[in-house]
Structure 1
Amino acid sequence: MNKKVLTITEQLALPILEKEGLELVEIEFKKEGSNWFLRLFIDKEGGVDIDDCGRVSEQLSKRLDEVNPIPQAYFLEVSSPGAERPLRKPKDFERAIDHYVHISLYEPISGAKEWEGYLRKYEDDSITVEVEQEMLTFPMTKVAKARLAILF
């Protein structure tokens, strides 16, 4: 059910986002407490503002009402992915080169499953992260999650 909702929502959202000059970062459909939430995270060069989110929300809400792919009541939220945006697509990784990132692995490498450092290189099959002046290369098949991180 959730996968179907995500697929249909993406199909409905992409033409709207393209028209608005925006990019889809992620879609979530999940239950929190007794409420369901359909969340779209969008972005563009220079970041999105509340007007961007409002326009997308209004247009997508109308399309979702027409198609009606979700039987239960839910809340639609459209927002920015934030400062710690996830890295999923090749272009996400390419844009993140020389940025500080957080990497979670499926299994430990060199004794750790989580690493933070500067993304120095991205290839389809691996990423190279500079951690405390040491270059570490992780196969993409071992990367569970990756996101931008804030360095304190």
Structure 2
Amino acid sequence: MAGKTTQLSELLTPTIESLGFELWGLELLPPFRKPTFRVYIDREEGVTVDDCAMVSRHISGVLDVEDPIQTEFTLEVSSPGIDRLLFRPEQYRLYIGEPIEVRLRMPFEGRRKFRGWLVGVEGDEVVVRAGEHEYVLPLNSVERAKVEPRVEIGKGKNKLKRESAKAE
């Protein structure tokens, strides 16, 4: 699966970047009736529904011509959202100090799911603090990792608290 997403990323990145967006990540989800190919795009000023529709039209053309999936599939284009999935080491670095959930392909120390705080990225490993323990997890064994947004309650309004490395 990793080889296929790498191939798709290389195929679609030039088109997505030419439209002014960053390819945040890709998911090729197993089929229930037919597979879903999910493409996450981002840019500093945010992503709208119209942006997703425009990018979808452009990359649909590329996928139709190149036919890299070679079966019928559903294409979804989305922003990463506030509970964004993390795909690459540099994305993890942006969210050091934030709550995270990591699910592994195979158990590590008897478990597959780790919820805690993202402590750091060291080479090809991510460090997560869950309770009193720090776990060093190999990135190549991560099935799915996502940032868990923190919501502060204050003065009658819910506010999303987002602190990233960019703000520091």
Instruction: For structure 2, list consecutive stretches of 5 or more residues without a partner in the other structure.
Output: 152-168
Cα displacement (A) at 1:81: 2.9
Q: Select the structure that is richer in helix.
A: 1
User: 1:107: which partner in 2?
Assistant: 107
TM-score (norm 2): 0.69
Which of 136, 144, 149 matches 1:138? Answer: 136
SS state at 1:31 partner: coil
User: 2:159: which partner in 1?
Assistant: none
Cα displacement (A) at 1:112: 4.0
Q: 2: distance between equivalents of 1:3 and 1:104?
A: 16
* CA offsets 1:110-138 (integer angstroms, 9 cap, x no match): x5442212212221143333334x35141
% identical equivalent positions: 29
What CA RMSD, in Å, does the superposition of the two structures yield over aligned residues? 2.9
Q: 1: distance between equivalents of 2:69 and 2:140?
A: 34
Q: CA 1:135 to 1:128, structure 2 compared with 1: closer, same or farther past 3 Å?
A: farther
TM-score (norm 1): 0.75
Q: CA 1:139 to 1:18, structure 2 compared with 1: closer, same or farther past 3 Å?
A: same
Are 1:14 and 2:13 matched, yes or no? yes
User: 1:126: which partner in 2?
Assistant: 125
* CA offsets 1:49-85 (integer angstroms, 9 cap, x no match): 1122112111111222223344443332211233332
Are 1:28 and 2:25 matched, yes or no? no
